[in-house]
Structure 1
Amino acid sequence: MSSVGGKAEGDISAIFASLSGASHDALPQRFADLKKAIVGTSHEAHQKLTESWVDLLAELQIGLQEIQRKGPSIIPEVSFKELTESGGSATWIKEVAKRGVVVVRDVVPDEEALAWKQQVRDYIKANPQVKGFPADDKQVFEIYWSKSQVQARSHPNVIGAQKAIMSKLFRADPSASLSLKSPVSYVDRLRIRKPGDGKFALGPHIDGGSLERWEDGRYRNCYREILSGNWREHDPYDVGRRLGVNSDMYNGPNQCSVFRAFQGWLALSSTGPSEGTLRVFPLLKEASAYVLLRPFFRPTLPTTDPNYLSADSWTIDVESTNFPNSFMAGAQELNDLTHPHLRLDDGGVVSVKKVEPGDVVFWHCDEIHAVERVHRGEGDSSVFYIPAAPLTAKTAEYLKRQKDVFLQGVPPPDFPGGAGENGFKGVGTSNDILTEEGRKALGFAPFSLKDGMTKSEEAVTKEANSILGF
């Protein structure tokens, strides 16, 4: 048996060179042509882009100083109650929008989250054939359909948090064909990281494709202000542009093919800085601008020169095929050699503040993030990966395929294929879905038509229900 997506078997390392050690060939000539097509060949266009680059580097320096000064305290947090109440504080919303990340406290009671973790441990023990990374000491498991995960995804507070974070941060034109208030459950795996582990050293990266950001026309349109020399005008929360994007042009393993507004996880342990937790670069707009502009500039000095990072030591590059650390069917990874101005190993990336079981962390789909290289804590660092994705025609099509493989117990379409949990003892079923809202999010019930919907929300809801067979 294989998943509907037809992807090769494997684990989370398949898409990350930093985990697998894979090397990549140089990109073909068409990528140099792509650069010219994007920014043009005129002196005026290059001058404007260069001025924007210089301005960006100066702004990054200011932001980096603040990150280094504040450390993990720079990460905003909000209670589940405040997140989901009507209105909401403009202060926390503005800060989350800037940072691209938030810790949501007390989404699920501690004892419920801890019980889910124990149930998963029992599930792993009953099915020792389960795959995971690293293969000799599994900690990131190819598990998607445990009863605990099904229950967590369908928990009313988890769905409430997804709905609130999307609808309060993202903005959509009334004509946009989506509903931010109808979360779709994008099924992902889980992690139970052991103290002392140094193998799950997932370096800085961005989810949702790599070269696709430049190569796919609709994806590129999400960043049109950046690529035209107006990075300050970029709006990371303009959701309408994200529709129809192709973020998986090369059918990469572990590559998300639909729009996730926020990646996220639900904490199953008490975990703080240095204890194997998430790390982020909390300057969303500036980091996005830098990543998108980086292929169009190259240094004129060796890395050993003290002026290497100065703005006037970089010049425009539309002749090479170089898109730093961007590869076909791979993740968009970053490091201090390929993206030096971000100072990723020198205070630019910070650990998320301490979380307790039942807390949720959400981070924007364009957020640079990583995992601490070594887990130096005394207890496990454990999470269920549960992102927030809105209802669109495309997510409904994915949801239909995902529902089909749920019923088979095989991996979701975007993930490494194979038999998965088919035949596992105690695998979750649709009977483990806790709520009616959970049944909708997982494709087992029609999405509701509600008073106050825009015409576009009503239309996309009807289209999604038709796709799902309701």
Structure 2
Amino acid sequence: MIRTTLTSSRTLPQTLVLRGVRHASVQPATPAPAEDGGSIMDAFASTSIGAQVLPQRFSDLKKKLWHPSLETRWKEVLTELEVETKRIVTERDGGKEMVPRLPFSQIKAGAIDPELSDRIFKTGSVIIEGAVSEQEALKWKADILEYARINKEHVRGFPAEEIQVFEFYNSKSQTSARTHPNIVATQRWLLDFLPTSNKAEAKVSLRTVVSYYDRLRIRTPGDAKFALGPHIDGGSLERWEDSAYRSCFADILSADSKGWKEHNPYDITPRIDADMDMYRVGKGACGVLRPWQGWTSLSNTGPGEGTLRVFPNVRLANAYVMLRPFFSPKPNAGGSLKAEDWTVDLESTAFPGSAPGLGLELTDASHPHLKLEETMTSMPRVKPGDQVYWFSDVIHAVEKNHNGTGDSSVLYIPAIPLTHQNAIHLRKQVKNFSLGLPSPDFPQGQGESLNVGRSTPSNVVSLEARRVLGLEKFEVPEDAEKGEREVLEAWNDTFEKV
């Protein structure tokens, strides 16, 4: 079996084309037909269905939610944004890294620098360094390339002619990364970072990390196709339509609240019952409560090399995004961002950037006060084994062009806890994993069921790893509160060993 030995993401010894992807010494693969025509781009209106005019009920919804104090909050948010957008650009262009770095050693020691914690809270994103060695991460990538080579007739992804995002869910590298003790420990800390406003009753176990099977990316130099503009996952219109989801933003929208400055985006309690996929028609939804999205790097990569970008102020962005549908520019505003040039708009059905069943997209046209062309900030340079996480409300994007000289490669591994909803998904995921099928949230078909060397439940031997993947019962801590105990015991009561 041919292996590619890599010492860094820049030392790929030979050039090859795997369905157009240039990597190690692998023969060209025969393109496999898309089994359902699905791709990652189907999750966004701009790359799938285009702009939509919403029905009258969305005007009615705005009128239902409207109260005069929203106008005061809107003006406050615009004033704050004018200052914050200038700060972001000035500090970033002055050389400051806008995304905090947290050494894994602090997590392991249970002693997080308070200043770092405050910065994570503000930005909603973080880089975790030192949990996985460069050597181990590079071996994961080398093994993936070999897995792709020996199963070349079944490889598919986006774009089909030169794959950057692979429809792999069940490679052994992915399984090893998802169950890596230090990655699990990182995710347990991230989940513990989340407050619960009703801890005793909240039906969630934040210390029970479970895995969510996602894809992987190996983006090659020169690519300009895998370019996702600024967006927020977790549905779009649901934020206003679904009462439980809307309650996550009560301090922004509710007349009884103290105002948007009291908004805590991280409170997990109202999110547990939020319906982030009301329409069940699109591919922009996630079947789990996913507080932290994330990836683990398999390469050296940095700004300009096809990496992640974020807007580094989650609370302020949430306030603006949630208030935006209630206001529109005056006819003669001429592009002005001043509050006096915007007016209350309850008659139109517009919820900018939103479409049924899809994610929320943001542009300088739809959300101009964010000045996204200027403020979206690329992840600073990371090494193989570094982890990057961003909270589910964070506006994020992928750089339009990969102008580097080496691949920009990641395994998508978010941090999710056990809830009743997540347990339902986990059961489906376990079944698909055992059959080599795609993760339940993603384009279906034969997936990796015919692949040689894919990961299977029998490959996973440690008890902790098997629990993370949903292959064993969970331990119920003695100090578990009522809600936590309920979700853990419900899983254990209905558990069927694979």
Shorter-chain TM-score tier = over 0.9
**Equivalent residue number for residue 248 of structure 2:** 222
Q: Distance in 1 between matches of 2:446 and 2:142?
A: 24
| Alignment equivalent of 2:359, drawn from 321, 325, 331 | 331
Farther off after superposition, 396-405 or 225-234: 225-234
Q: Percent identity?
A: 45
Distance change in 2, residues 1:434/1:140 (3 Å):
farther
Amino acid at match of 1:290: Y
Shift of 1:21: 5.1
Shift of 1:148: 0.6
Q: Distance in 2 between matches of 1:468 and 1:392?
A: 14
SS of 2:97's equivalent in the other structure is helix
What RMSD over aligned residues (CA atoms) do the two structures have, in Å?
Answer: 1.6
| Alignment equivalent of 2:131, drawn from 80, 89, 107 | 107
Distance change in 2, residues 1:8/1:50 (3 Å):
farther
- Residue 323 of structure 2 corresponds to residue 293 of structure 1: yes
Shift of 1:416: 1.3
Farther off after superposition, 205-214 or 79-88: 79-88
- Residue 310 of structure 2 corresponds to residue 310 of structure 1: no
Q: Which has the higher contact order (CA 8 A, sep 6+)?
A: 1
- Residue 376 of structure 2 corresponds to residue 349 of structure 1: yes
Shift of 1:244: 1.2
8 A contact 2:295–2:388 mirrored in 1: yes
**Equivalent residue number for residue 4 of structure 1:** none
SS of 2:397's equivalent in the other structure is strand
SS of 1:104's equivalent in the other structure is strand
Q: Distance in 2 between matches of 1:370 and 1:65?
A: 20
Shift of 1:303: 6.5
Shift of 1:28: 0.9
Shift of 1:93: 1.2
Amino acid at match of 1:168: F
**Equivalent residue number for residue 359 of structure 1:** 386
- Residue 183 of structure 2 corresponds to residue 158 of structure 1: yes
**Equivalent residue number for residue 261 of structure 1:** 291
**Equivalent residue number for residue 105 of structure 2:** 81
Shift of 1:463: 1.4
Alignment map for 1:156-235 (pairs within 5 Å): 156-175=181-200, 176-228=202-254, 230-235=259-264
Richer in helix (by share): 1
8 A contact 2:333–2:342 mirrored in 1: no
- Deviation per CA, 1:407-431: give whole Å up to 9, x if none: 1111111111111111112111113
**Equivalent residue number for residue 238 of structure 1:** 267
Q: Distance in 2 between matches of 1:113 and 1:435?
A: 20
8 A contact 1:246–1:257 mirrored in 2: no
Distance change in 2, residues 1:87/1:180 (3 Å):
farther
Q: Distance in 2 between matches of 1:320 and 1:467?
A: 48
- Deviation per CA, 1:361-411: give whole Å up to 9, x if none: 010010000001101110000000000011111111110011111111111
Distance change in 2, residues 1:375/1:454 (3 Å):
same
Shift of 1:22: 3.3
Instruction: In structure 1, list runs of 5 or more residues that go unmatched.
Output: 1-6, 40-44
Alignment map for 1:383-394 (pairs within 5 Å): 383-394=410-421
**Equivalent residue number for residue 83 of structure 2:** 62
**Equivalent residue number for residue 3 of structure 1:** none
Amino acid at match of 2:303: P
- Residue 300 of structure 2 corresponds to residue 279 of structure 1: no
Q: Distance in 2 between matches of 1:201 and 1:265?
A: 17
Q: Distance in 1 between matches of 2:417 and 2:433?
A: 20
SS of 1:390's equivalent in the other structure is strand
SS of 1:391's equivalent in the other structure is strand
Amino acid at match of 2:116: W
8 A contact 1:97–1:169 mirrored in 2: no
Distance change in 2, residues 1:379/1:319 (3 Å):
same
Q: Distance in 1 between matches of 2:448 and 2:330?
A: 52
**Equivalent residue number for residue 487 of structure 2:** 460
Q: Distance in 1 between matches of 2:286 and 2:298?
A: 24
| Alignment equivalent of 1:147, drawn from 169, 172, 194 | 172
Amino acid at match of 2:158: F
Amino acid at match of 1:183: V
Amino acid at match of 1:214: W
Q: How many residues align?
A: 454
Q: Distance in 2 between matches of 1:396 and 1:369?
A: 27
Q: Distance in 2 between matches of 1:14 and 1:237?
A: 28
Distance change in 2, residues 1:284/1:190 (3 Å):
same
8 A contact 2:104–2:129 mirrored in 1: yes
SS of 1:162's equivalent in the other structure is helix
SS of 1:181's equivalent in the other structure is strand
**Equivalent residue number for residue 50 of structure 2:** 23
Q: Distance in 2 between matches of 1:226 and 1:120?
A: 45
Amino acid at match of 1:455: K
- Deviation per CA, 1:52-94: give whole Å up to 9, x if none: 0000011112211221022261111101111233252322111
SS of 1:298's equivalent in the other structure is strand
8 A contact 1:100–1:364 mirrored in 2: yes
8 A contact 2:170–2:455 mirrored in 1: yes
Distance change in 2, residues 1:183/1:59 (3 Å):
same
- Deviation per CA, 1:435-467: give whole Å up to 9, x if none: 322211111011112233223322221112224
**Equivalent residue number for residue 250 of structure 1:** 279
Alignment map for 1:1-40 (pairs within 5 Å): 9-18=37-46, 20=47, 22-39=49-66
8 A contact 2:187–2:415 mirrored in 1: yes
8 A contact 2:224–2:401 mirrored in 1: yes
Q: Distance in 2 between matches of 1:394 and 1:261?
A: 13
Q: Distance in 1 between matches of 2:38 and 2:461?
A: 30
Q: Distance in 1 between matches of 2:227 and 2:126?
A: 22
8 A contact 1:84–1:164 mirrored in 2: no
8 A contact 2:203–2:487 mirrored in 1: yes
Amino acid at match of 1:250: Y
Shift of 1:434: 5.8
Shift of 1:337: 0.3
Farther off after superposition, 459-468 or 147-156: 459-468
Q: Distance in 2 between matches of 1:245 and 1:345?
A: 31
Farther off after superposition, 128-137 or 350-359: 128-137
TM-score (norm 1): 0.93
Amino acid at match of 2:73: S
8 A contact 2:333–2:341 mirrored in 1: no
Q: Distance in 2 between matches of 1:276 and 1:421?
A: 27
